[in-house]
Structure 1
Amino acid sequence: MSQLSLLSRPERALLLFFGLLLLTGLFAPALLAPGVGGGPFADERGWAGLPHAMDVLSNLPFAALGVWGLRWLQWHDRTHEHVQDAAPLHPAAQPPVNLLDCAWMFFAGLVLTAAGSAFYHLQPDAVRLAADRAGMTVAFAGLIGCAVCERVSARAGWPAAWFVLAAGLLAVAVCHTNDNVLPWALVQFGGMLLVLALALVRPAQGAIGLRLGWVIFFYALAKLFELADAPIYEATHHLLAGHSLKHFTAALAALPVLHALQAMGRETLRHNSGAAAVTA
């Protein structure tokens, strides 16, 4: 029996989509963007000796939400272990393991995104831009994995996350060494196109209710702020630039993930009353 025949139709469609992206990245003509990496950005003000202060400090929401998510996942794992030791779990309260693994990757990626982006904005150049994109790739891979778990199948989410992680890091390396931004554009925009498509299909069995539409909304709004960096800086009379707003808004894409996970946690406690006494 063919291995493909063991896959569901949504899984085969996902495999085809990833295959098309991979072939495009490998064989399409290069999209060269030499010299990318040094900005310029509208707000170059320093503060208390910190260069480009707003573009650096505006990464704090990534770190805060990343740490929040990691702490919640740690609490959930500890609670689940205590409950499982006390009594068998109700079937409705079984945690979706692959989705939780993808969530660990996503929130860890947010912390790496905060560190990489702050490092880049301190002194923008091509090497630091590669570090920035590498952190973003980890978060992006985790998000794609969560979306696939929700709308394709739980078993497909973790492989999808690792595929995006490997492809993203390779794209960062290609962009840095050859100035070819096509692979990075395919990872970034192809990935968000996938999330948009998944937002329009019915949730898979075992889905926890992740609202992908809100993820897309915050991502699209962040892109608009990024494109309007200088106009927003002028419109706010040099109070805040579009790129700083981009960081704030992009970080908000973590909120739908947190909300869905916390709702799942409450459902676990509801089906296992003994777990209510187990706290962090």
Structure 2
Amino acid sequence: MVWLTEQQIGRWKRKRILMVGSFMCWLIIMFITPKVPLRHHLFADKRNFMGVPNTLNVITNFPFLIIGVLGFVLCLGGSFFNISLKGEIWGWTLFYAGIASFAFGSAFYHLKPDDNRIVWDTLPILIAYSSLFSSFLVERAGERVGLSCLILLLFTSFLSIAYARVFNDLRLCMTFQLIPCLVIPVMTVLLPPKYTHSRFWLWATAAYAIAKIQGLADNKIYNTNRYIISGHSLGHLCSAVATLLLTIMLLYRSIRFHRLGDLKGRP
């Protein structure tokens, strides 16, 4: 019993260190990076096919709609995904709802990019990231920690959008998307997984990181491939691959062990 108590204390300390470390990373990034104004709506590929402005930037959102709707339906079905806790069900359902909403919001934004429409592009993806990170924490750190963070992260999502509109600065939104890319790989290594196929977390994180790099190299990629497809459009497709990897993980994973916190209250 003494060993078990010490083990639980050690895990709790690691969780607190990771949370505090994430917050400190966010503060450091906010201080060292320059202001990113909203007026950055200049994308490399402005081609118009069949009367659709910025066609490829619009239609590359379609995979998000397919995966988001499919995942949302499977979450509601309850028997297709290997999800064992209510906190995970809420988190994953909200994640897929956010992904499906992002498909519409991003397509709407790219039809005519401006300061007003960018909210519909950014808010759904921030909600999806919040619920995804919450689901990850439910699995790795416990249901109470994950659900508490979900509320905090959703509040931060809306705060980030408000900050961007009031101060004309996207840094809070951008760092909010960056932190999970840094924290999830670290927590994947330090905290034991509840399920099998946990490597999919790392693969999905890598795919998303590549997508962000492609978005930053929008013009360079577009020029390099002789104006076939831009970095931003490729970023959409690579982000969709990340969500697909997570969906495959949910379909094929199985429980490795039950945590003590998960067994409380069960007969």
TM range (shorter): 0.7 to 0.9
The question of 1:193 aligning with 2:197 is answered no
| Offset, 1:219 | 0.9
The question of 1:133 aligning with 2:122 is answered yes
Map Cα deviations across residues 119-147 of structure 1 (whole Å, 9 max, x no partner). Answer: 11111111111221101111111111122
Given candidates 9, 13, 17, the residue that maps to 1:9 is: 13
Q: What RMSD in Å do the two structures reach over aligned CA positions?
A: 2.9
Stretches of structure 2 that go unaligned for 5 or more consecutive residues are: 1-8, 257-267
Residue aligning to 2:265: none
Given candidates 96, 116, 137, the residue that maps to 2:85 is: 96
| Offset, 1:164 | 1.5
> Is 12-21 or 106-115 further displaced after alignment?
12-21
> Which one has a bigger Cα radius of gyration?
1
The question of 1:148 aligning with 2:137 is answered yes
For the structure 1 residues 179 and 73, does the alpha-carbon distance in structure 2 shift closer, same or farther, using more than 3 Å as the test?
same
For the structure 1 residues 260 and 94, does the alpha-carbon distance in structure 2 shift closer, same or farther, using more than 3 Å as the test?
closer
Residue identity matched to 1:8: W
The question of 1:171 aligning with 2:174 is answered no
Q: Is the 8 A contact 2:36 2:171 kept in 1?
A: no
Residue aligning to 1:75: 77
| Offset, 1:265 | 7.6
| Offset, 1:180 | 2.8
| Offset, 1:248 | 0.5
Residue aligning to 1:207: 195
Residue aligning to 2:214: 225
3-state SS in 2 of match to 1:125: coil
The question of 1:32 aligning with 2:35 is answered yes
CA–CA distance in 1 between the matches of 2:44 and 2:206?
24
Q: Give the fraction of aligned pairs with identical amino acids, expressed as a percent.
A: 25
CA–CA distance in 1 between the matches of 2:58 and 2:208?
19
The question of 1:257 aligning with 2:246 is answered yes
For the structure 1 residues 157 and 56, does the alpha-carbon distance in structure 2 shift closer, same or farther, using more than 3 Å as the test?
same
Map Cα deviations across residues 133-189 of structure 1 (whole Å, 9 max, x no partner). Answer: 101111111111122123222332222222222112211110111123332233122
Residue identity matched to 2:67: L
Q: Is the 8 A contact 2:196 2:255 kept in 1?
A: no
CA–CA distance in 2 between the matches of 1:230 and 1:18?
31
CA–CA distance in 1 between the matches of 2:206 and 2:24?
25
Map Cα deviations across residues 28-69 of structure 1 (whole Å, 9 max, x no partner). Answer: 5994333x3352111101111111010000001111111111
| Offset, 1:97 | 1.9
For the structure 1 residues 179 and 195, does the alpha-carbon distance in structure 2 shift closer, same or farther, using more than 3 Å as the test?
same
Q: Is the 8 A contact 1:55 1:118 kept in 2?
A: yes
For the structure 1 residues 265 and 200, does the alpha-carbon distance in structure 2 shift closer, same or farther, using more than 3 Å as the test?
closer
| Offset, 1:247 | 0.2
Stretches of structure 1 that go unaligned for 5 or more consecutive residues are: 81-92, 268-280
3-state SS in 2 of match to 1:180: coil
Q: Is the 8 A contact 1:175 1:184 kept in 2?
A: yes
Q: Is the 8 A contact 1:192 1:216 kept in 2?
A: yes
Residue aligning to 1:85: none
3-state SS in 2 of match to 1:127: coil
The question of 1:43 aligning with 2:50 is answered no
| Offset, 1:191 | 2.7
Map Cα deviations across residues 62-97 of structure 1 (whole Å, 9 max, x no partner). Answer: 1111111112112226x89xxxxxxxxxxxx88222
The question of 1:57 aligning with 2:59 is answered yes
For the structure 1 residues 19 and 248, does the alpha-carbon distance in structure 2 shift closer, same or farther, using more than 3 Å as the test?
closer
Residue identity matched to 1:45: R
Paired positions, count: 246
CA–CA distance in 1 between the matches of 2:39 and 2:185?
28
CA–CA distance in 2 between the matches of 1:166 and 1:14?
20
CA–CA distance in 2 between the matches of 1:248 and 1:217?
13
Residue identity matched to 1:41: F
> Is 230-239 or 108-117 further displaced after alignment?
230-239
